[in-house]
Structure 1
């Protein structure tokens, strides 16, 4: 009951609710979030390793339609067509090789079809207070090589806008650029390979490591386990502290009780045997005295003695008091010899 009262205190209840909610969040949200990012990174690395080990093939073999097969991402493809420079867009606020950069996106019309691909030509460094100089893509029919990339996500509160007469978009998303330019495009884009017609600053491939996501996920799992254990530790510590305080509080009362008992034992030892604390004979002593008086009264009232012959050869009778103790009556040897001679004379004469 004492432990239950401690647990049901408002402070412990509130702390328990917070810790349980935190542990649930760790196991259902935070850890899966980081572990999911780790899985996505491992999947991306596997795709890059596979894609870099394969040769470049025509676009129609890998992506025959405008819909992207996720397993085809990062594959190197070749396509022929022409750049649509008048529909070019920029992506600002990028960081490439640890420096600010502006990514240049130019649509590309595929020959022999009505498909239009969004080409990431690379990057240029920004200039303060204006639009950087961007080399124009080559005119006419061009054959280019690049890697298939999935479209980036689009924030709902951010869209395209015109900045000094140049279209600017927040992310590399063909749908967003197509809506801004009025030209439908495939739902993926090509990241142009180095030394291709119209290429700019090279955007390197991602490093093939998983990053810190796995360790972060394991840390959240550890936090989800350690938080309840920490509360349990402090709860047990408080219960033990309260028990020690209660024991320390009860110690003086126990000492006082022990001292009272010692005084009572001393008084008992100082009294005469068979007497009560008030000086009167104790109950056991009075009963023994009554029994002794009763025996004496019975002896006095009987007044007779019954003698029994115990039949020992050559000896006289033994007298036994029927009420008192049994006593051996040892006869005089001379009187016994005289009695024997008298009996023999009467029987045989003499």
Structure 2
């Protein structure tokens, strides 16, 4: 077993053990967590599917949408602020590149909430086509409360084709990019057939994902971790057998040189 102390074997064992540990402590729990998140999200959506919209002021009395209220149906009224509108890039609708339109709405109580008016497809995957402007004047809307996304693109807001572009569905990023203070944390995902709606954003983008998909991925990572450990044991045993075979061969060769016939002596 002294061969395990060689640098190459130490590195190999460390790599395999590290991979197995990652499977059991990081990768599998991550997928189990995503599965639990998907189930909780679907339960929240199903729970509000048949309920009437609640006043926005009732569910959001302060300046932040609460996590427990996400996906709740709300009714709100106010006036769109098209001058502070932005397109959210790096989106896909039905597998095709698109941008979502995020337009602030000044509520009757003076607060400002970002509204997801839906998406517009990109021409040739890049160019931004024309789309309907938000209606002017007072409007009454219904939609679902959503929490802000976290921007993982690392890109700064930019203007292209006359449209401000950001990279997350986030009222915080919209407020910073447009210089609009006092915007509520979170946004409203506009329901279909509402004033200003474009192509409605799917309520749950994961509805086409088979049940327990992430859970099956987690089980796969657990299996990969177990296979790695078994394979490590197999390679160690194979190395030991090869070394024993070489030792026997060397001993037989030495006996032959010495003129000893091991079989005859036996």
Offset of residue 247 of structure 1: 4.0
Q: In 2 relative to 1, CA 237–197 (structure 1 residues): closer, same or farther, beyond 3 Å?
A: same
Q: Does the CA contact (< 8 Å) of 1:137 and 1:198 recur in 2?
A: yes
Q: Provide the residue aligned with 1:277 in structure 2.
A: none
Higher strand share: 2
Q: Does the CA contact (< 8 Å) of 2:157 and 2:167 recur in 1?
A: yes
Q: In 2 relative to 1, CA 126–260 (structure 1 residues): closer, same or farther, beyond 3 Å?
A: closer
Distance in 2, Cα, partners of 1:191 & 1:20: 45
Please identify, of 190-199 and 244-253, the stretch whose mean Cα deviation from structure 2 is larger. 244-253
* Aligned counterpart for 1:117 among listed residues 102, 113, 118: 113
Offset of residue 169 of structure 1: 1.0
Q: Does the CA contact (< 8 Å) of 2:121 and 2:128 recur in 1?
A: no
Q: Does the CA contact (< 8 Å) of 1:159 and 1:176 recur in 2?
A: no
Per-residue Cα deviation, 1:301-333 (whole angstroms, up to 9, x for no partner): xxxxxxxxxxxxxxxxxxxxxxxxxxxxxxxxx
SS of 1:143 mapped into structure 2? strand
Query: Is 1:175 aligned to 2:172, yes or no?
Result: yes
TM-score, length basis structure 1: 0.67
Per-residue Cα deviation, 1:91-129 (whole angstroms, up to 9, x for no partner): 233211222222111110110x22101011112223357
Tell which structure's C-alpha radius of gyration is larger: 1
Q: Provide the residue aligned with 2:223 in structure 1.
A: 222
Unaligned runs of at least 5 residues, structure 1:
262-350
**How many pairs align?**
257
Q: Provide the residue aligned with 1:343 in structure 2.
A: none
SS of 2:261 mapped into structure 1? helix
Q: In 2 relative to 1, CA 11–105 (structure 1 residues): closer, same or farther, beyond 3 Å?
A: closer
* Aligned counterpart for 1:44 among listed residues 34, 41, 44: 41
TM-score, length basis structure 2: 0.86
Distance in 2, Cα, partners of 1:93 & 1:258: 76
Query: Is 1:72 aligned to 2:69, yes or no?
Result: yes
Q: Flag the structure with more relative contact order, 1 or 2, with Cα contacts below 8 A and sequence separation at least 6.
A: 2
Distance in 1, Cα, partners of 2:70 & 2:265: 91
Distance in 2, Cα, partners of 1:133 & 1:31: 44
Q: In 2 relative to 1, CA 8–166 (structure 1 residues): closer, same or farther, beyond 3 Å?
A: closer
Q: Provide the residue aligned with 2:261 in structure 1.
A: 256
Query: Is 1:99 aligned to 2:114, yes or no?
Result: no
Distance in 2, Cα, partners of 1:130 & 1:257: 84
Q: Provide the residue aligned with 2:184 in structure 1.
A: 186
